[in-house]
Structure 1
Amino acid sequence: MSISSDEVNFVVYRYLQESGFSHSAFTFAIESHISQSNIKGALIPPTALISIIQKGLQYVEAEVSINEDGTFIDDAVMPDVVQTRQQAYRDKLESQQAAAAAAADLKKNGETTANGEENGAHTIANNHTDRMEVDGDVEISPNKAVVLWGHESEVFICAWNSVSDLLALGSEDSTARIGNLSENSTSGSTQLVFRHCIGERGQDVPNNKDVTSLDWNSEGTLLTTDGNLASTLGQHKGNICIKWNKKRNFVLSAGVDKTTIIWDARTGDAKQQFPFHSAPALDVDWQSNNTFASRSTDMCIHICKLGQDRPIETFQGHMNEVNVTKWDPAGNLLASCSDDMTLKIWSMKQDNCVHDLQAHKEIYTIKWSPTGPRTNNQNGNLMLASASFDSTPVYSVAFSPDGWYLTSGSFDKCVHIWNTQTGALVHS
């Protein structure tokens, strides 16, 4: 049995994706020419790299515990290993039993009072860490969940339509799908499937490119996907992110070729290419219909405007890769987060950041609340949520349309819903 260098590259690429290192995964995929390999990603199981390493260590462990004649060496590595594993198993069993007993006591005492009142939600929040240690299946009643089937490999991203109950999904199987959530889930929802293909010998075949970025236009009538953008619009050398402007006449893209491009959505022509970053451009966000912010691994944030041949503003101050930039709903403040464990808020009225918030872990993403000026909730307070790599990495956060609730998704396979007014955990 052997493994090729292409296969090694692919499992490393998959490990980076599964661990949330999306920027590193993109860069590694480009430099190692993942898209040119013949490996079928759908056949590679999750956590393949970890599994290979673990099996390799087990083989080495067994190898040093056997004599040349095949007899077992009792005093070699195995006794210590067995003792360690037995102790780890006992510790885990005791932890599970204690957590199960605590959960039973909570249920017996009727902690889940309605609407997350003080004796309910706060009690759950205080005991949340222990409860998450319980290793078991959580059954969700059918009337509270809709499952969309069809993808043949990992689903990387999803995006809600802003005007109807349509959910778009992007996957490693080189397809994007749109599911109609307003239909009866028991009869199976209708899905539109968009396959990203290339021409080969007169036939369309999958292009082996992941769909990792989706964006609806403001009217919910058009959807852009990144797996096919480079070949359709044809000017990027590998793209990472795509965004519609609110007027839906332009599409903005960022690429590993260190540039950002504004495209005419009607004709598909490139209106202007902005070659200002010195490293791959990782994300973009519109401020208005012709002005946007872009960020890169070069630690710079450029504010660019269609028709201008230089950035109209450049924000510098992060000491590591900038992960996300987001304008507030009014377009007055720009928030950015970084691996330097800071969250900074910028204003076009000054060069230095308005606020510099320090965290104790890398901040992965941020979201503004849909409240305040120029929103449907003008009287609501403007809030900014962040997700960081704390004890359990949190990869995504999202506000409800009214700003009253915040949802967070974590590496612990759980989704939590919080009340933004009280900070109480509402559902888990």
Structure 2
Amino acid sequence: MAAPPFRITADEINCLIYSYFKDSGFNHSAFALFSEGSLKNSPWFSKHIPRGELIDLLSKALLYIEVESHWRGDSMTTNCKNRFSLLERHVCTDKPSPTVLLKPPATSRFASSLRTTTHPSNEDASISRNSQIRRISSDSFYSINTPQANGTSASGDTTTKRKGSPNQVDGPVEKRAKREFDDMDLDSSRQTNTRQTASAQGSYVNVPAVTQISSASQENGVDSLKRPRSRISQGPIDETTNPQAIMILSGHRKEVFVCSFNPTKHTLLATGSKDAVVNLWNLPSPPASRDQFATWNGSPITVDNYVKDVQGDLTALNWNSQGTLLAVGSYDSILRIFTSEGNPYFTNHQHRGPIFSVRFSQDGRLLLSASLDETTCLWDVKEKRLLRQFRCHQDCCLDVEWMDATTFATAGADGNIYVMKTDNPEPIKKFSGHEDEINQLKYNPSRTRLASCSDDTTTRVWRVDKIDNDSEETIPGLATSEETIVLTGHTHSVNSIGWLPVTDTGTNEIVATSSFDCTVRVWDAMTGKCIKVLADHKRPVYTLIFSPDGKWLATGGGDGYLFIYSTKTWEKKWTWFAGLEKPGVFEIAWQMVAALGLNRLAVSLECRQVAIVDASKIPVLQDTDQGVVGAIQSVP
């Protein structure tokens, strides 16, 4: 029986090119092709096209050309060193083909001076959380090395890579490489207002962070004399804290992006860095005496089974509830799970793009992973296998959160949130309203409301406690805005969310958000009113976390400062500075175990260190009357 003829339509090619444009960040070109090619009417447009599909097909074409040219196996083809090209006819030769380089664009003196005076320094370009260069460039993300007949690639490499690594950028890459502060895709009026506000606050001016005092603090009634005194060395910014209360761990060779305390083995801390290394630290218990301090003299367990020469920036660490397994998300697209002793437990290559988020279910039986390839994978941890791959988002999936043992939510760069069931490939609920990519999802402690923060400068609080009881929710993809609270006030990307763990009886729930506008805002999650603006940071705020007892809020940013605020008065109580060289504070984990006398913070630092702050040895944090205040006063 004769094989059916090949059939390639212009419609198929247009859809492939459209997907390539979207992957590469050529959004205007993609829009033009969508309109002129009438892709909305194409039966192929609704199909899922994996990232890099066009590049994969072209690489197979090069393989066919190689076979067509070298089938004889004579001395000329065996010793051929000429590369294959999609645009040139191949001629065998034993002389290496010259490297063709793209000419850099001409740069005027004015443009050069503009870059020097208006753009932040490399330190400022380091990023915060799920947070972001809009797209990974095609030149760096897709790298084709065509295998030759002798087993080497056309470029001379001994290994074959179907995809190259994304752009190398300074700073964490939890949600694709994050953007500089002035790279926001807002409408022109809002973007102008954003930059004017930033300029007025002095936040984006490229001067050392330790010498700046923003006028925003004065406008909010903050006495400048109460701001931390300037310093150039690492350490606490007060006269009462003994510097030995902060233990410095120096075991990483690159910037430390993520950290997580083991939930059951309380001395165990996991940290991950830009060089794809996970360190497991067996921390000493702090002495009971207020005048004695823990010291570190050992070496961490180093977990390093990553592919060399491939960007492997670590984006996420998550322990299971039993504390026996650690899931790791990485930019090399490979899901990894390790035991608490640092031994490999499970590795899988299912994802075709960087993994931005990993989450164990509450019982530890299941694991979710979210990726740039637009999918979320559900894994059976005990069986070490993929149960289902969900394809709902039209752009990369950036975060996932479990609601209960069978229900979870996913957030994407398409601005949508989908509520999913583990046994259903279609969403049971769709939340839409964000105008830009969503950076993080967080459920409140009672799991009745879901908060999402976005590059559109807003945070939204969605009611999720009625999903299973509403008959309309059986309709896949149902959109709703019912009882949605929109928190507006930030002037730049909102990258991190924190729910206050406890509140006084009779008060509304409280949520805090951090932003690239250099502020933290505290909100009444029920009314949407802003309770307090914390404007002490001078550069983007990368991370925030409430203490487990709800008495304190810690924040960290690109200016190198770690601030701890009282949730009773929202006043800044304590400050620590990471130092002038690579000052960024990327992530904070807070551990409290009353039975063991543990009250400490782990701080991931850009300067390749991890700081362990023993809060029990800091005098100003020993306020026994400290409590939580609800939404008693609003800020316009």
Partner in structure 1 of residue 588 of structure 2 = none
Find 2:223's aligned residue among 108, 127, 144. Answer: 127
The Cα of 1:371 is off from its aligned counterpart by 2.5
The Cα of 1:182 is off from its aligned counterpart by 2.4
**Relative to structure 1, is the Cα distance of residues 195 and 328 closer, same or farther in structure 2, using a 3 angstrom cutoff?**
same
Task: Please state if 1:344 is matched with 2:460.
Answer: yes
The Cα of 1:251 is off from its aligned counterpart by 0.8
Task: Please state if 1:237 is matched with 2:367.
Answer: no
The Cα of 1:393 is off from its aligned counterpart by 1.6
- Within 5 A, what are the aligned runs for 1:181-192? 181-182=283-284, 185-192=294-301
Per-residue displacement from partner, 1:42-68 (whole Å, max 9, x unpaired)?
A: xx988xxxxxxxxxxxxxxxxxxxxxx
Of 246-255 and 17-26, the range deviating more from structure 2: 17-26
1:194 maps to amino acid:
V
Task: Please state if 1:139 is matched with 2:235.
Answer: yes
Find 1:167's aligned residue among 269, 275, 279. Answer: 269
Partner in structure 2 of residue 367 of structure 1 = 498
Work out the CA distance in 2 between the residues paired with 1:16 and 1:393. 8
Work out the CA distance in 2 between the residues paired with 1:240 and 1:16. 22
Find 2:388's aligned residue among 269, 272, 276. Answer: 272
Pairs aligned (count): 336
What TM-score do the two structures reach when normalised by structure 2? Answer: 0.47
Work out the CA distance in 2 between the residues paired with 1:38 and 1:180. 33
2:329 maps to amino acid:
D
The Cα of 1:260 is off from its aligned counterpart by 0.5
Work out the CA distance in 1 between the residues paired with 2:225 and 2:557. 13
2:542 maps to amino acid:
Y
Find 1:407's aligned residue among 554, 567, 572. Answer: 554
Task: Please state if 1:283 is matched with 2:283.
Answer: no
1:165 maps to amino acid:
T
2:324 maps to amino acid:
T
Find 1:306's aligned residue among 418, 422, 439. Answer: 422
Q: Is the contact between residue 398 and residue 413 of structure 2 (CA under 8 Å) also seen in structure 1?
A: yes
- Within 5 A, what are the aligned runs for 1:256-267? 256-267=372-383
Q: Is the contact between residue 196 and residue 206 of structure 1 (CA under 8 Å) also seen in structure 2?
A: no
- Within 5 A, what are the aligned runs for 1:183-262? 185-198=294-307, 205=308, 207-227=310-330, 228-229=334-335, 232-238=347-353, 239-262=355-378
Per-residue displacement from partner, 1:274-330 (whole Å, max 9, x unpaired)?
A: 101000001111111221111111010000111112101000011122121111122
1:249 maps to amino acid:
R
Work out the CA distance in 1 between the residues paired with 2:372 and 2:388. 17
Task: Please state if 1:390 is matched with 2:537.
Answer: no
Q: Is the contact between residue 497 and residue 544 of structure 2 (CA under 8 Å) also seen in structure 1?
A: yes
Per-residue displacement from partner, 1:134-167 (whole Å, max 9, x unpaired)?
A: 3522435442111112111111111122231322
Per-residue displacement from partner, 1:89-136 (whole Å, max 9, x unpaired)?
A: xxx89x96x98xxxxxxxxxxxxxxxxxxxxxxxxx923588458352
2:489 maps to amino acid:
A
Work out the CA distance in 1 between the residues paired with 2:280 and 2:389. 30
Q: Is the contact between residue 282 and residue 297 of structure 1 (CA under 8 Å) also seen in structure 2?
A: yes
**Relative to structure 1, is the Cα distance of residues 365 and 21 closer, same or farther in structure 2, using a 3 angstrom cutoff?**
closer
Higher relative helix content? 1
Task: Please state if 1:354 is matched with 2:484.
Answer: yes
What TM-score do the two structures reach when normalised by structure 1? Answer: 0.69
Per-residue displacement from partner, 1:214-256 (whole Å, max 9, x unpaired)?
A: 1111122211111341792221112221111110001100011
Partner in structure 1 of residue 47 of structure 2 = none
SS in 1 for 2:393: coil
SS in 1 for 2:347: helix
**CA RMSD, 1 decimal:** 3.7
**Relative to structure 1, is the Cα distance of residues 258 and 16 closer, same or farther in structure 2, using a 3 angstrom cutoff?**
farther
**Relative to structure 1, is the Cα distance of residues 417 and 34 closer, same or farther in structure 2, using a 3 angstrom cutoff?**
farther
- Within 5 A, what are the aligned runs for 1:17-56? 18-20=126-128, 23-24=131-132, 27-28=135-136, 32-33=140-141
Identity in percent:
30
Per-residue displacement from partner, 1:320-343 (whole Å, max 9, x unpaired)?
A: 221211111221101111122221
Q: Is the contact between residue 27 and residue 256 of structure 1 (CA under 8 Å) also seen in structure 2?
A: no
The Cα of 1:213 is off from its aligned counterpart by 0.9
Per-residue displacement from partner, 1:178-215 (whole Å, max 9, x unpaired)?
A: 112225753524412111324xxxxxx57541112111
Work out the CA distance in 1 between the residues paired with 2:250 and 2:361. 31
Q: Which has the larger radius of gyration?
A: 2
- Within 5 A, what are the aligned runs for 1:5-154? 18-20=126-128, 23-24=131-132, 27-28=135-136, 32-33=140-141, 126-127=222-223, 131=227, 134-140=230-236, 141-154=242-255
Q: Which runs of 5+ in 2 are unaligned?
A: 1-100, 103-121, 144-162, 172-206, 214-220, 237-241, 287-293, 337-345, 468-479, 519-538, 576-636
The Cα of 1:267 is off from its aligned counterpart by 2.0
Q: Is the contact between residue 324 and residue 337 of structure 1 (CA under 8 Å) also seen in structure 2?
A: yes
Work out the CA distance in 1 between the residues paired with 2:123 and 2:222. 33
Work out the CA distance in 1 between the residues paired with 2:369 and 2:245. 36
SS in 1 for 2:512: strand
The Cα of 1:395 is off from its aligned counterpart by 1.3
**Relative to structure 1, is the Cα distance of residues 31 and 291 closer, same or farther in structure 2, using a 3 angstrom cutoff?**
farther
